[in-house]
Every structure is written in structure tokens, then in C-alpha cells.
Amino acid sequence: MRLIVRSPRILLPLLLLGVPFAIVSGLLFVNLPSDFSPPSLSNRFGRKELGGEGSRLVKNVSPGHSADSMRLNAINMDIDGRLKEPTGTVYEDDKSHIEAVPSSENEGGELNKSNVPISTKGEKLEQSDKATVREDNGGSRSQNGPKEKIWEMEDQLIMAKAYLRFAPPGSNSHLVRELKLRIKESERVLGQASKDSDLSRSALQKMRAMGSTLSKAHRAYPDCPSMASKLRAMTYSTEEQLRAQQSEASYLMQVNARTLPKGLHCLSMQLTSEYFSLESKEMEFPNRDRVRQPHLYHYAIFSDNVLACAVVVSSTVSASKEPDKVVFHVVTDSLNFPAMKMWFLLNSPHPAAIQIESLENFQQWLPSNFSSAFKQSGVKDPRFTSPLNHLRFYLPEIFPYLSKILLLDHDVVVQRDLSELWKMDMKGKVIGVVETCREGESLNQLKSFLNFSDPTIQDSFNAKSCIWAFGMNIFDLNEWRRRGLTTSYHNWLQAGKRRQLWKVGSLPLGQMVFYNRTMALDRRWHVLGLGHDTNLERYEIERAAVIHYDGNMKPWLEISIPKYRGYWNKFVNYDNPFLQQCNIHK
């Protein structure tokens, strides 16, 4: 192929001086051979630009077109009317030599971006039939990359499908049949190969056959504007399918996160059956006298998941320097109470003490309209409205005999001794927290959780205040009682029922109730993100006192992040007969 185009920098002044366009257009001419075949899509505009505007596609010129149309198609005018030229790179197949095509720059410093290569000072660009011109946009592929042939075949497949759409409906011409055959062959090859080295000799022959078929299609369908329209339509359709699949994947992820796995349901049923076969005297825990001793290290866990709770207890005892001074207070719902109690009767956290309570014992603390207060429009996740999630706002009432308590979520693993938290001077603050925002970032600020269009919220809070995390928090219950924060919780709960003041869940309420009453802890006390962030550093996880699987990818689910699962698995005894009966494995 041979292209000769004079620099368009001389054209604009001529047009401005009133020289007729017919004369100016004579300065341009393009000579294309009759056997010209279109380069691959990737070489025309890069894979990432498939969804771009039609003006980005280089328009081919067929010998059957008139001279005027050939001249007009050689120039692609931008919207602002200026002639522009892309920076181009010429690649020749099977050759390692790469020749750069310099882009001309006018006096104003603006690059000329016409959609045809321009030879400077009358220089001609010689190119074989196999040579391709690629726009150098930073996203183009390496000529000798490990997937160059794979990518070329993918582009051929896209072109073949586009040409196939030009055929009239129901057409069964020889070319249509040939295109369909080549498409099937290419799809079969691409389904079996992930890199060029996987391609067999027959696969390369199929690629050449596809190229020959595309050349025939190009001669049969030379209308490039129509081709651009077809490609845009295909791109739009693909993007719509992608959005639908992403929405479906997100929905299925939410369903998976909310659904109790079959193995855990089996475990609960087996333990419940075993519990009701016990004698009444066998249902009591040892060391019951410790649960009310305020000088010990008291932990509260609100959970309806037996195995998750077992990991929290086991990891805490394992990491504690004085496990005989540790007391666990586990609160669960009435459905899981027998199973939870049976598990810890069979698997005592000795030498620590443990107490299992049913949520029914504390229902009097929750307001009568508790459930309706959280039935906001579009909220279907029961985790946001679970009484166990909101029981944390009644800690002083549940434990009137304690002055300090540490609250752990059931999706955490304790890796270090936490006794130092009881010895900290909280300086009049109510809750010790790890903040989740970072300096210079606007993410994880209060404005993301509260409705600052409401005057009450505007007057009460600073939109740029940093968000902190539940999951591992030390509470000064005496200071809580002195400030009457449970009443504050009730007031916000009632205000939120009348109008939407915050996003769903207990976290925004916690930000409001404990606003300006938090003591920031070092981030090493509590590392979050193991249930959704795949980019956490290993050293950051392993130096943490508590790691938190917040998010949908809980470690007991199949959708958990594999590289984080081991930190949780090492505290599960998979040889336990109940786990084996219920087919719960690593």
C-alpha cells in the first residue's frame, strides 16, 4: 500500500484566503490498490477504543468510489474544524524493526491529528500488504507480546461478526456461510488457547484463512461508515450485557453473603439435637462466679454463627497472656442458643470463663417499634435490622456490674494479647476506636453516612469528621452511663423513623451517638478489609492485634478471599466429629 498526502498545515491558510475547496482538495490524493485488505481492529484503534466515537475509525477508500469521495474520506475533520494528525507507529509483521512516524507540530504547538499518516517534506511511507498502522495512544499492544496472535484472532472475530451483520436477514450466500464457518473455527481455537504458545499450526492456518475471508468481505462490503455504525452498535450491546452481568453478579454476591451455608446449618441442627439430650445439671458452665468480677478482662460477642463465634473465642484465648482472667459474654438469638451453648460445653475455652445468653433476656431494652424503625425503603438485608447488631447500644444495661468491656464482632480473629486496652487512660472518652480515613483523603468521612441536607444533621455534626470502625472497641461503661448515651441512641432512632437521616446499618448510628466521644487507637490494634480488599499487605495483617473480615467475603463462605482464609482456618479444628458429619472442610 502506498499513501502520499501533502501536509495539511498549508491547507488551512489557503481555505481562509478564499481559495475554492475544489482546488485545495486537488492537493490531496490517495492511491489504494484494488486488493487492499483492512488491517485488524487492534491496529486501527486499539482494543480499549472500541467504544469510542465513530470519528476515531479510519475510513477505507474503495476503488469504486468517486475521486471526490476518495479525497473527502482521506481527511477526517474534527468538530472544531481543525485538521489533526495522530502520532502513529508503523509495524511490519514478522520483523522486529519498528519505524516511528513523527507527528508534525504547527507554530502554535498543536499536533496535527488527521486520520491519515502524513509524510513530512514529501517523504513517502512504504508499507507491504501485511504492514499495519497503529495509533500510539499508550494502550496499544506490543508487537511481539505473548498474546499478539491471540489478540489478532480476537480482532478478526469482531470484524467477521461485524461483516456478517451486513448480510440481509436469512441470507445464505457463499460469503455468509464462509464467515460463519471462520467464526466457529476462531471461537473454537480461542476457547482452547490463552497465549500464542498454545496455538497449533492448524490454528495459525485458520487465522490466515480468516484473513482471506475478511478480504473477500471487505471487497463485498466497502462502506466503512456503515461498518463504523455496526461496530458502535455492537459495542453498545456488549456494554449493556456487561452492565447486566455485573448487576447480576453483585446481587448473587449479596445473596451468598446473607445465606447460611448448608454445613453451618447442619452443625447448628446437630448441636441443638445433642443439647436437648443433656441432663439439666450438664447444661451449666464451670467458673460461673467470674462473670461478674469487674477486675477481669471481659469480652462481649453478639453472634448467631456458632463456628464464627468459636474462632473468636479460640483465637482470643490463644493470644492472651493471662487466659485465666478472660471472661466471654456471648449473646445469640433464641434459635441458635442451644447450639451455641452445646458447642462451648463440648469445647470449653478453659482456662477462660464463658457465659452464653439468649437475646430474649434483653428484649426489654429494645424499643417496642425497633423493627419498624429500620424498615427503610429498598432495604432488604436483615443484617442491618438485626437486634443483635443494635444490642451494642445497651452495653451498660446488659452489664450493670462492669466498668469496662471490649466488644468483638464475630468475623474477627485475635492475634495479639489485648489486655493493654483495659489499662489505657481513656481521658474521659467513651469508646476506643480505629479510624478508617487517611490524611488527605475525602473517603470515609461522615458525609458519606449521614444526610447533611437535613438541618439537624448540619447543626450537629462536621461533614469532614473521620469515620471509625466497629468490630474491636473498648468501652468505658461508667462514662457511658454518666453521659446518658443510651438515651441519645433512642432519640436518634426516633428522629430517623420520621425522616431519613443516615444510611442503613448500625455504623452510622454509632458515629452519631459517640460523636466527639471517641479515643483514636493505633491502626495496628485493628486491621480491616479482609472480607473485601484483596490488596492488603501481608506485613500489615500479621502485625495486627485483631484482623477483621468486614465485607461480604466472610472466611466461612466459599466466596472468601483465598489468601486471607488461612488466618481464620488455623483456629478451626476440622477433625471435630460435628464438623466432619456436616462436611465442613478447609
- For the cut 80, the answer to whether the pLDDT of residue 52 exceeds it is no
CA dihedral defined by 192, 198, 200, 202, rounded to 10 degrees? 40
CA–CA distance from 12 to each of 16, 150, 457 (Å)? 6, 43, 59
Please report where in the chains the cell 477433625 appears, as a residue.
575
Position 286, amino acid: P
Determine the average pLDDT of the residues in 88-103.
40
CA distance 586 to 580: 11
This prediction's pTM: 0.61
Q: Which residues partner with 125 through β-bridges?
A: 3
Give the CA angle between residues 59, 63, 68 to the nearest 5°: 70
Secondary structure of residue 558 in the 3-state scheme: coil
Determine the average pLDDT of the residues in 101-121.
39
CA distance 501 to 482: 26
pLDDT at 405: 97
CA distance 508 to 118: 60
pLDDT by residue (tens digit) across 234-276? 788 888 888 888 777 776 666 665 667 889 999 999 999 999 9
pLDDT by residue (tens digit) across 547-560? 999 988 999 998 89
- Which regions of the chain carry the CATH code 3.90.550.10? 263-581
**What DSSP string runs through 176-205?**
HHHHHHHHHHHHHHHHH-SSGGG--HHHHH
- For the cut 90, the answer to whether the pLDDT of residue 110 exceeds it is no
CA distance 382 to 581: 29
CA distance 325 to 295: 9
Percent of residues, the chain, with pLDDT higher than 70: 68
Secondary structure of residue 459 in the 3-state scheme: helix
- For the cut 60, the answer to whether the pLDDT of residue 93 exceeds it is no
pLDDT at 193: 81
CA distance 10 to 537: 57
- For the cut 90, the answer to whether the pLDDT of residue 418 exceeds it is yes
pLDDT at 369: 58
pLDDT confidence band for 64 (50 / 70 / 90): very low
- Among 180-194, 210-224, 287-301, the least confident range: 210-224
In whole numbers, what is the pLDDT of the chain averaged over residues? 76
- For the cut 80, the answer to whether the pLDDT of residue 470 exceeds it is yes
CA distance 115 to 74: 8
Helix, strand, coil tally for the chain in percent (to 5): 45, 10, 40
Cell matching residue 326:
478472660
User: If one looks up domain 263-581 in CATH, what number appears?
Assistant: 3.90.550.10
pLDDT at 140: 41
Position 4, amino acid: I
Are residues 55 and 93 in contact, defined by beta-carbon separation less than 8 angstroms? no
CA distance 434 to 269: 37
pLDDT at 146: 74
CA distance 221 to 238: 23
pLDDT at 219: 82
pLDDT at 258: 64
Determine the average pLDDT of the residues in 28-55.
41
Q: Which residue has the higher pLDDT, 509 or 102?
A: 509
Name, in order, each residue with C-beta under 8 angstroms of 112's C-beta and a sequence gap of 6 or more.
7, 8, 9, 83, 84, 85, 103, 104, 105, 106, 118
H runs (alpha helix) in 326-453? 337-346, 370-373, 387-390, 395-398, 420-423
pLDDT by residue (tens digit) across 362-389? 877 776 655 555 554 445 556 666 788 8
pLDDT at 21: 46
Determine the average pLDDT of the residues in 156-161.
86
pLDDT by residue (tens digit) across 121-158? 344 333 334 333 333 334 344 445 678 888 888 888 88
pLDDT by residue (tens digit) across 337-358? 999 999 999 999 999 999 999 9
Please report where in the chains the cell 495522530 appears, as a residue.
86
HEC per residue, 259-309: CCCHHHHHHHHHHHHHHCCCCHHHHCCCCHHHHHCCCCEEEEEECCCHHHH
pLDDT at 177: 87
pLDDT by residue (tens digit) across 391-410? 899 999 999 999 999 999 99
pLDDT at 367: 66
pLDDT confidence band for 489 (50 / 70 / 90): very high
HEC per residue, 40-94: CHHHHHCHHHCCCCHHHCCCCCCCCCCHHHHHHHCCCCCCCCCCECCCEEEECCC
pLDDT confidence band for 471 (50 / 70 / 90): very high
pLDDT at 201: 83
